[in-house]
Structure 1
Amino acid sequence: MNSYRFRFNNSRKTSTILFWFFTTLLTVSLTTTVLLAHSHPLFPAWLLLISLPLMFMAIYRLFKVASERQSAEIVSLNKEGFTSSCFGSVLFSEIHAIRVPVREIGLLGGLQPDYYKKTDADIPYLEFSITTRDGKMLKWILNEWGGLYNSKEDFSIFFNFLTALTDQLYQLYHANEPHKSYLKILDEKGSWEKRG
């Protein structure tokens, strides 16, 4: 039984993050206005006593909510399937589809980090998903070269898990067939669906 430990972006609380982001913008601009126009009768000093704590609270909540998007995952792979600390147990027979952004992964021939350094393009956050027979979706979002929610080592460990998982599925369902484009079972678009 192999275990893989990594951190990833769980993509939760997006609306809450947006709320605190715009609240932070509003309170910072209000506090700045009050500080710059402190002698103006339209902006009394007591307004600063309200806006300054609100600004600090909004900044604190923004960072707190943003940090809650990071999850720590421990995946244990065995002969029948895998167990995830975030998503529970999944048998190989329950896996219906896998989606991997293969064209964006540098390890699979995608764009390298030098490209992103030389251009204004943002380094992509890669979304990996596994759909089970009952419609449950397991989703991990990682940055290949490290970012706010995971490191390069986290991505490397996740990629090792993904490689071991696709090897197991290849042995179960495609042992007598030639390898596909990526990770033995994925097509050119990074998809795999269980036949039948």
Structure 2
Amino acid sequence: MNTYHFHFNNGQKSSTILFWFFTTLLTIVLTITVLLVHPDPLFPTWLLLISLPLMFMAIYKLFKVASERRSGEIVSLNKEGFTSSCFGSVLFSEIHSIQVPVRQIGLLGGLQRDYYKNTDVDTPYLEFSITTQDGKMLNWILNEWGGIYNSEEEFSIFFNFLTALTNQLYQLYHTNEPYNSYLKILGEKGSWEKRG
């Protein structure tokens, strides 16, 4: 049994993060305005006593909510399937489809890090998903070169899990077929679907 430990972005609470982001911006602007236009009667001193604590609270809430998007994952892979600490047990026979953003992953010949450095495009968070036959979705969002939610080493660990998983599915469903370009079973667009 192989075990993989990594962190990922669970993609939850996006609207809450946006709320606290804009609240933080608003309180910073209000506080700076009160400090710069201090003698003006439109902005009395007591307003600073309100805006400063509000600003610090908004910044704290923003960081707290953003950190809650970081989940720790432990995946144990065995001959029948895998067990995820975040999503539970999944048998290989239950997996209906897999989606991998192959065009963005440098390890698969996709866009290299230099591309993101030389353009205005942000380094992407890559979303990987597995759908089971009963419609359950397992989503992991990671950054190949590391970021707030996972390190570069953790992406490599996740990629090792993905490689082992697709190797098992290849042996289960495609033994007599030649390898595809990506992780043995994925098509050019990074998808695999169980036939029949």
**Fold shared per TM-score above 0.5:** yes
Moved more, 36-45 or 152-161: 36-45
Distance 1:192 1:175 in 2: 15
CA drift at 1:125? 0.8
Aligned residue for 1:160? Answer: 160
Query: Can you give the 5+ residue segments of structure 2 that lack an aligned partner in the other structure?
Result: none
Distance 1:31 1:117 in 2: 34
Matches within 5 A, 1:96-111: 96-111=96-111
TM-score, length of structure 1 as denominator length: 0.98
Distance 1:107 1:59 in 2: 36
Matching of residue 140 in structure 1 with residue 134 in structure 2: no
Aligned residue for 2:127? Answer: 127
Aligned residue for 1:6? Answer: 6
CA drift at 1:121? 1.9
Distance 1:115 1:193 in 2: 30
Distance 2:36 2:28 in 1: 12
Distance 1:180 1:40 in 2: 70
Runs of 4+ in 1 over 6 A off after TM superposition: none
Residue type of the partner of 1:173? Y
Distance 1:118 1:44 in 2: 47
Which deviations, in whole Å up to 9, do the C-alpha atoms of 1:132-156 show, x marking residues without a partner? 0011100000000111110110000
Aligned residue for 1:190? Answer: 190
CA drift at 1:119? 2.2
Matching of residue 16 in structure 1 with residue 19 in structure 2: no
CA drift at 1:103? 1.0
Residue type of the partner of 2:134? D
TM-score, length of structure 2 as denominator length: 0.98
Aligned residue for 1:29? Answer: 29
Distance 2:172 2:140 in 1: 24
CA drift at 1:117? 1.8
| Number of residue pairs the alignment of both structures matches | 196
Matches within 5 A, 1:78-97: 78-97=78-97
Distance 1:19 1:41 in 2: 30
CA drift at 1:118? 2.2
Which deviations, in whole Å up to 9, do the C-alpha atoms of 1:76-98 show, x marking residues without a partner? 00011000000000001110000
Distance 2:23 2:17 in 1: 10
CA drift at 1:181? 1.9
Secondary structure, in 3 states, of the residue corresponding to 2:103?
A: helix
Which deviations, in whole Å up to 9, do the C-alpha atoms of 1:41-100 show, x marking residues without a partner? 111111111110000000010011111110110000001100000000000111000000
Distance 2:38 2:119 in 1: 43
